[in-house]
Amino acid sequence: MILDALTLSEQDAPVRSLVDAFGSDVVAIAERRIGEPAYLSRRLAFASGGEIILHDDSVVAVVLHLSPTALDLSDWIFDVDNSATLDELQKAMGSAPHFAGIGTPYFTVGGGYVRANFRDKRGWKDAGNLLSLTFTVDKPGLSCRPEDDNCPACSELLIRNANGKLDVDGTVESLAAALAAGSLTEDAHWVKLADLQPLHASGLMARVETQLTCTTCRRIICFTLFRDASPTFEYLVTNDAMRHPLEPIPPVEQWGDADRLALDRDAMHYVDHEPAMWFLVRQGDALYLDARYSYSAMIDDSALILLNDSELTDFRSGGHDAITRLARRIHNSAPYREESPYYLRNLYRGDGGQEHRKAVGAAIVNHTWLAQQRKP
């Protein structure tokens, strides 16, 4: 019954049958316009614990809420109840679970998907942790979760003017406040939110985009200003967001004001790199090496090292090759182990690690693998 209702209109017979099965006692109806271009999200919550979510009058998800409602899962899925573990769901579904990221198991069933939502995204080995089941036609992980239309952290950040159009100034202010509060994080591989409007006003780029990740629902907000089109505001998953085209960001001297130029003078700047191995950046007279290291399939990260006097001397005489040799030494030393001479030198460790990552990310924004993939 649930799978038959997916993709249909609220007035279609299979959806009406589902409404009747939920008891027709609607306790809440929530409607909101999502993104720009906008679609209408409509959510029907029933006293029984069922929920139907529609996008522009097409059913995109059906949710069976098992706690604290009185919904009995055995009425909907044979031989399983509300205390089901993941193993018991597997037996009932007749197939092994897949995972859409950490803590998100799902099953492929009858042309649709059933996502199991457990308490704190873990605990599926123990009875009583199953919170809900979500039925969708879209494969989990390849699109945003319909339940996140009402995310308390990011669903109200788009600001519209009196005519219902996207208010760019208001939306930038709204996003900046959420970013400052820690509700969003900024992807340094794209345009910084603070630079979005100045870059757009310069006319140097056909499209200017900032990407911000919600720390609650993990959706990525892609806010884009176009030279010759209306702005857009989308919620995407990582695979879709990273494919957005973006030209190389012009030097700040071509578009920044005096305050922005002053910030740039104190920032890190790209010097050189070896693909998939290292980046060298400069801040004032100091040189920093971002050196990638890995160990089997378990560890793949990078260490940020401030070059000391002897390493600076090697660089001045050996250039690119000297930095490659240093990066190899860092990798071979297993810098994730305390015994490595580079363990304590790694500036990505400790309280300032995230700020260092942002600073390096901003410096190398036009030179990463992602920068090559996103070219128009």
Query: How many whole angstroms separate alpha carbon 163 and alpha carbon 324?
Result: 57
What residue ranges do the domains of the chain occupy? 2-146, 151-260, 267-371
- pLDDT digit string, tens, across residues 219-263: 999 999 999 999 999 999 999 998 888 888 899 999 999 999 999
- pLDDT digit string, tens, across residues 7-34: 999 999 999 999 999 987 888 899 999 9
What whole-number percentage of the chain has pLDDT above 90? 79
- pLDDT digit string, tens, across residues 28-78: 899 999 999 999 999 999 999 999 999 999 999 999 999 777 789 999 998
Query: How many whole angstroms separate alpha carbon 127 and alpha carbon 106?
Result: 18
Residues listed for the chain: 376
User: Is the peptide bond between 275 and the residue preceding it cis, with omega within 30 degrees of 0?
Assistant: no
- What the block records as the tokens of 149 is 């239309």
Query: How many whole angstroms separate alpha carbon 366 and alpha carbon 362?
Result: 9
* Residue-by-residue DSSP string for 83-125: T--HHHHHHHHTS--EESSTT-EEEEETTEEEEEEEGGG--TT
Q: Which three-class secondary structure state does DSSP give residue 282?
A: strand
Q: Angle at the Cα of 118 (from 123 to 140), degrees rounded to 5?
A: 125
Provide the Cα torsion 140, 146, 151, 155; round to 10°. 120
What average pLDDT does this structure show over 183-206? 94
